[in-house]
Amino acid sequence: RRVVVLISGSGSNLQALIDAQHHGELGGDIVAVISNVANAHGLVRARDAGIDAVVLPHGEYDSRDAYDGALIKVIERHQPDLIVLAGFMRILTPRFVQRYLGRMLNVHPSLLPAYRGLNTHALALADGVTEHGCSVHFVTEELDGGPVIVQAAVAVTEGETEESLREKVHTREHLIYPIAVKWFLEGRLRFDGEGATLDGTPL
Ligand code: GRF
């Protein structure tokens, strides 16, 4: 089973997936990593792991549709079963999302449906919540709004800063993302048009 990972930055989630693959715990192979940012550190992680690393700079396209069209071309060369968004900081067009509907996952740093969009840690702190976390979900046209597959919660403790919270949440992302990918690649996790199911049971 073949996975293409899209990134824009550090790629620590990508690293967690690479590590899982190396331990035989991913259920498939990462066949390509694509970044819209040329100096994304995740590209180095990919190359170090011997994975095809492609830069597709969005600045070279004059519309979202043109960019996503180019992205589709690169992705299709690799014939993936699954697209994994791992810190890919671009909103995808409906055409792109529809094409990969039910075969594209994202990880988001909040306990969805709380805090969709950016700055989740700052917003959670400002609200004084006692619990925060991360979610893996299927990607649908609604931004950070697709069906949730798995979440991990962390306690917000005394003296917590945005940075400490981000770090805590990040470590949990690294735990849950490979699990969700494995479920999908093993055929256990499905998108049924509305929600997600695991072994046939709605999540
Ligand atoms: C993570 O916080 C993820 O939740 C968000 O983007 C960040 C990516 O981090 N979607 P990394 O590049 O995987 O380190």
pTM score, two decimals? 0.97
Separation of alpha carbons 148 and 14, rounded Å: 20
Nearest to 3 by CA among 146, 191, 58, 20: 20
Question: 151 CB under 6 A from ligand 1?
Answer: no
Nearest to 12 by CA among 131, 162, 123, 167: 167
Question: 133 CB under 6 A from ligand 1?
Answer: no
Q: Could you tell me the domains of the chain?
A: 1-100 (3.40.50.170), 108-203 (3.40.50.170)
Q: Which atom in ligand 1 lies closest to the alpha carbon of residue 169? A: 2
Ligand 1 center from residue 11 Cα (angstroms): 7
Cβ neighbours of 200 (radius 10 Å): 8
The complex's ipTM works out to 0.97
For the stretch 43-54, pLDDT in tens is: 999 999 999 999
Residue 5 tokens, joined: 């990972």
For the stretch 121-159, pLDDT in tens is: 999 999 999 999 999 999 999 999 999 999 999 999 999
For the stretch 17-76, pLDDT in tens is: 999 999 999 999 999 999 999 999 999 999 999 999 999 999 999 999 999 999 999 999
Nearest to 138 by CA among 107, 116, 114, 110: 107
